[in-house]
Amino acid sequence: MADTEKRDVHLVTGAASGIGAAAISLLLADGARVCAADMQTIPLEGIASGDLDRLKTVRCDVSSEADCRRAVKTAVDAFGGLHAVLHFAGIHSVLTWEELDAEELAKLYAVNVIGSFLVAKAAGEHMKSNGGGAIVMTGSGSMNSGGTGGNGRGGPAYTATKGAIIALHRAMARSLGPHGIRVNAVSPGSTTTAMTADYSADALANVARRTALGRIGKAEEVAAVAIFLASDKASYITGEIVNVNGGGSFGI
């Protein structure tokens, strides 16, 4: 990493697996310092091949404001600052509208939408007084397709929360921009993560056929785009959504 890009302290949520775990591996390999946050135990031997002196872990329920503030404080205390947040934490739901109830919908909103706000708020409060920074949230290709649920598709609860995250990230980009804080989003298509682990072989094959590239995405492919958006190379990009879906859909 070039000296001019040494704004290298990253907070990664959803770090125990999937895209978050892939991001940690890529960041450590590039010399960054990482605070890894998750409710689950983070398997360091499985995802952290770099210098563990540059990695700090913290338990974090993103639906808890106190946990989000503690995660930011952990990063700052460990490494002296916080320059970027890669927010991948979220939960899935494949329930159809017939199966869905208000309790399930509220649970999805608490983690996916309120959690995104709380992480951005905690990070933004630090970055506002410390030279700015970058925040990357996570949408989903299901916003484009209108996921109906069932095996191989996010349902209405998941789709609705991911659409809300996109609206939220644009509002936060406007709000935080004057303080030198950029807010962008990645919007993955179907990707090999814990969320797709229970999809049947037929469902995965159908997803692959719906993409221009004819395959499921890899976690590291999404992580790499998020890392770019958080880097100085994307210094004039904010309020944008980058689809990482193999051509599963185009535009927003």
Which of these, 94, 31, 82, lies nearest to 58 by C-alpha position?
82
- CA-CA distance, 114 to 68, in Å (whole number)? 11
**What is the Cβ-side half-sphere exposure of residue 243, based on CA atoms within 13 angstroms?**
16
Greatest CA separation for the chain: 55
Please identify which of the residues 109, 158, 199, 236 carries the catalytic annotation: 158
Which of these, 232, 230, 180, lies nearest to 4 by C-alpha position?
232
Give residue for tokens 């999404």: 222
- CA-CA distance, 222 to 74, in Å (whole number)? 25
- CA-CA distance, 151 to 206, in Å (whole number)? 11
- CA-CA distance, 9 to 75, in Å (whole number)? 8
Residues 6+ apart with CB under 8 A from 78: 33, 35, 56
> 225 by DSSP, 3-state: which?
helix
- CA-CA distance, 148 to 156, in Å (whole number)? 6
Is residue 158 annotated as part of the catalytic site, yes or no?
yes
Report, as residue numbers or ranges, the catalytic residues: 158
